[in-house]
Structure 1
Amino acid sequence: MPATFVVVPQWQGSVSARAMSHADGAAAILGDLPSASTVAVEVPVEAGESLGTGVLRYSTLVRVRDLTAAALDRVPDWALTVGGDCGASLAAVGHASARAAGDLAVLWLDAHPDLNTPETSPSGGFGGMTLRAIVGEGAAGLALDPETRIAPERLVLGGIRAIDDEERRFIDEHDVTTLTVEDLSDPSVVIAALEATGASQVFVHIDLDVLDPAALAGLSYPMPFGIGATELVALARAVVARFPIAGAAIAGFAPASPQAAEDDLPTILRLVGALTSGAAEPG
C-alpha cells in the first residue's frame, strides 16, 4: 500500500531562534501533499512547561507524542511523518518498530546525532535528545518502551558533523555505526551498513540539515559541508529499493518566509517522492 502522510507541525522541540518556523515549514509541505492520504496532527499552541525534567516544553511534547501516536495508529500501512522539529520522529519510530515487530534498523540522516539526555543536553531542547529517547533513554513519556525501543547496534548515523561530548561517548561506548557525508554519496556503503545491523526493515529519518546549506535555505541549524540534494535523493531511492520501509520522516524545515518556503519546496518534494518510490515488500 502507498504511504500515508502524517504532518506534525511541532516546533516545541527546537531551541533555534527560528523554532516556530518549523510549524510554518510543515504547513508549507502539507499544502503539496495529497489530501486523501494525509493526516494533520493538531499541535497545541502553548509552549509547555519543563516540569523539572530538564526538557524544555516537556508537557506539550508529551501531548504531541500522544496525539501523533494516535494518528499513526489509524494508518493502514506505513507512514511518512513530516515535522516539525526532529522530535516528531519519536512516535513515528515507535509506530514503525511495532509494525516491524522489532525487526527494524534506523537510518538517521542528520547533521547532529541527537543523542543527548536531559542531564547532558547543553540546551534542554528535545530535538537534540530524540534519538536517545528512541533507544529508550530519557524523560518519562519521551522514551520508547522496551517493546519498541531501538538497540544502538540497529542505528546507522549518516552525515553527522556536530557532536557533543556525551553523544561521542555514547557512540563510542556502543560502537554505533557512523557514516560521513562522503559515504552518503555512495548508496552501496549505506546499504552495506544497514545490512550489517541484521534488520530486514528500515526507518529513514531525514533532518534537512544533513543537506549542505547551499541546497536548502530553510534550515534552523545550517551546517556547512553537507550532502547535496541530488545525492540525498539518490540515496533515499536506493534504500527504499533495497529494504522494506516500515516508516520514514522528514524534519527540520524552518523557512524564513512563505516565499522562501516556495523556493525550497521542490527539493523537499523530490525527497518525498524518493522515499515513497516503489518501496520493497517485506520478505
Structure 2
Amino acid sequence: MPATFVVVPLWQGSVSSRAMSHADGAAAILGDLPSSSTIVVEVPVEAGESLGTGVQRYSTLLRVRERTAEALSRVPDWALTIGGDCGASLASVGHASSRAAGDLAVLWLDAHPDLNTPETSPSGGFGGMTLRAIVGEGAEGLALDPETRVPPERLVLGGIRAIDDEERRFIEAHDVATLTVEDLSDPSLVIAAVEATGASQVFIHIDLDVLDPAALAGLSYPMPFGIGTAELVALVRAVAARFPIAGAAIAGFAPASPQSADDDLPTILRLVGALTSGGGALR
C-alpha cells in the first residue's frame, strides 16, 4: 500500500537558534503532499517545561509523542513521518517496530548519532537523544518500551560526523554499525550492513543534515562534507528496493525564508519519492 504521510511540525526538540523554523519546514513540505493521505499532528505553541528530567521542553515533547502515536494508530499500512526535528521520529519508529513485530533495523542517516541521554547531553535538546530513546533509554515517556525498542545491534548509522563523548562510548560498547559519508555512496555497503543486523524490514530516518550544506540551505545544524543529493537518493532507492520499508522519516528542514524553502523543496521531494518507491512494508 502507499505510504500515509504524518506531518509533525515539532520544533521543541531542537536547541538551534533556528529551532522554530522546523515548523515552517514541515509546513512547506506539507504543501506538496497529497491531502487525502496526509495526517497533520497538532504541536502546541508553547515551548514546554523540563520538569526536572534534564530534557528541555519535556512536557510538550511528551504531548507531541502521544499525539503522534494516536495519529499513527490510524495509519492503514506504513507511515512516512515529516518533521520537524528528529524527535518526531520516536513515535514513528515505535509504530514501525510494533508492525514489524520487532523484526526491524533502523538506518539512521544523520550528521549526528543522537545517542545522548538526559544525563550526558551537553544541551538538553531531545533531538540529540532521540536514537538513544529508540533503544529504550531516556526520560520517562520519551523512551520506547521493551516491546517496541530497537536494540543497538539493529542500528546502522550512516554519515555521522559530529559525535559527543557519550555517543562514541555507546557506539563502541555496543559495536554499533557505522558507515562514513564515502560508504553511503556505495549502496551495496549499506545494504550489507542492514542485512548483517538480521532484520528483514527497515526504518529509514533521514535528518537532512546528512546532506552537504551545498545541497540544501535549510539546515539548522549544517555540517560540511556531507553526501550529495543524487547519491542519497540513489542509496534510499536501493535500500527501498531490497527491504520492505516498515516506516520512514524526514527531519531537520529549517528554511530561513519562504523563498529558500521553495529552493530546497525539489531536493526534499526527490527523497520523498525515493522513500516511497519500494511499495512499503510487509510485501
Q: Secondary structure at the match of 1:69?
A: helix
Q: Does the Cα contact within 8 Å between 2:116 and 2:167 map onto a contact in 1? A: yes
Structural RMSD (CA) = 0.7
- Whichever residue aligns with residue 92 of structure 1, its letter is S
In structure 2, the partner of 1:163 is 163
Instruction: Supply the distance in 2 between the matched residues of 1:81 and 1:141 (Cα, whole angstroms).
Output: 19
Q: Does the Cα contact within 8 Å between 1:244 and 1:282 map onto a contact in 2? A: yes
Q: Secondary structure at the match of 1:80?
A: strand
In structure 2, the partner of 1:66 is 66
Instruction: Supply the distance in 2 between the matched residues of 1:145 and 1:59 (Cα, whole angstroms).
Output: 19
Structure 1 runs (4+) deviating above 6 angstroms are none
Instruction: Supply the distance in 1 between the matched residues of 2:159 and 2:75 (Cα, whole angstroms).
Output: 30
In structure 2, the partner of 1:271 is 271
**Shift, 1:145, TM fit:** 0.1
**TM-score, normalising length from structure 2?**
0.99
In structure 2, the partner of 1:242 is 242
In structure 2, the partner of 1:104 is 104
Q: Does the Cα contact within 8 Å between 2:103 and 2:200 map onto a contact in 1? A: yes
Q: Does the Cα contact within 8 Å between 2:248 and 2:275 map onto a contact in 1? A: yes
**TM-score, normalising length from structure 1?**
0.99
Q: Does the Cα contact within 8 Å between 2:246 and 2:281 map onto a contact in 1? A: no
In structure 1, the partner of 2:32 is 32
Instruction: Supply the distance in 2 between the matched residues of 1:154 and 1:137 (Cα, whole angstroms).
Output: 15
Instruction: Supply the distance in 2 between the matched residues of 1:74 and 1:174 (Cα, whole angstroms).
Output: 35
Instruction: Supply the distance in 1 between the matched residues of 2:158 and 2:35 (Cα, whole angstroms).
Output: 32
What does 1:246-265 align with in structure 2 at a 5 Å threshold?
A: 246-265=246-265
Structure 2: gaps spanning 5 or more residues? none
Q: Does the Cα contact within 8 Å between 2:245 and 2:280 map onto a contact in 1? A: yes
Q: Secondary structure at the match of 1:248?
A: strand
In structure 1, the partner of 2:178 is 178
In structure 2, the partner of 1:140 is 140
Cα distance, 1:102–1:281 mapped onto 2, change above 3 Å:
closer
**Shift, 1:280, TM fit:** 6.1
Matched, 1:151 2:151: yes
**Shift, 1:20, TM fit:** 0.0
Structure 1: gaps spanning 5 or more residues? none
Q: Does the Cα contact within 8 Å between 1:242 and 1:280 map onto a contact in 2? A: no
**Shift, 1:281, TM fit:** 5.5
Q: Does the Cα contact within 8 Å between 2:10 and 2:43 map onto a contact in 1? A: yes
Instruction: Supply the distance in 2 between the matched residues of 1:153 and 1:166 (Cα, whole angstroms).
Output: 17
Instruction: Supply the distance in 2 between the matched residues of 1:247 and 1:76 (Cα, whole angstroms).
Output: 12
In structure 2, the partner of 1:14 is 14
Instruction: Supply the distance in 2 between the matched residues of 1:258 and 1:229 (Cα, whole angstroms).
Output: 21
Instruction: Supply the distance in 2 between the matched residues of 1:136 and 1:13 (Cα, whole angstroms).
Output: 18
In structure 2, the partner of 1:188 is 188
Instruction: Supply the distance in 2 between the matched residues of 1:144 and 1:178 (Cα, whole angstroms).
Output: 22
Q: Does the Cα contact within 8 Å between 2:247 and 2:281 map onto a contact in 1? A: no
- Whichever residue aligns with residue 198 of structure 1, its letter is G
**Shift, 1:34, TM fit:** 0.4
Instruction: Supply the distance in 2 between the matched residues of 1:247 and 1:194 (Cα, whole angstroms).
Output: 15
Matched, 1:52 2:52: yes
Instruction: Supply the distance in 2 between the matched residues of 1:49 and 1:191 (Cα, whole angstroms).
Output: 41
- CA displacement, residues 58-84 of structure 1 (integer Å, 9 cap, x when unaligned): 000000000000000000000000000
Q: Does the Cα contact within 8 Å between 1:104 and 1:150 map onto a contact in 2? A: yes
In structure 2, the partner of 1:121 is 121
- Whichever residue aligns with residue 164 of structure 1, its letter is D
Q: Does the Cα contact within 8 Å between 1:208 and 1:251 map onto a contact in 2? A: yes
Instruction: Supply the distance in 2 between the matched residues of 1:126 and 1:255 (Cα, whole angstroms).
Output: 20
**Shift, 1:180, TM fit:** 0.1
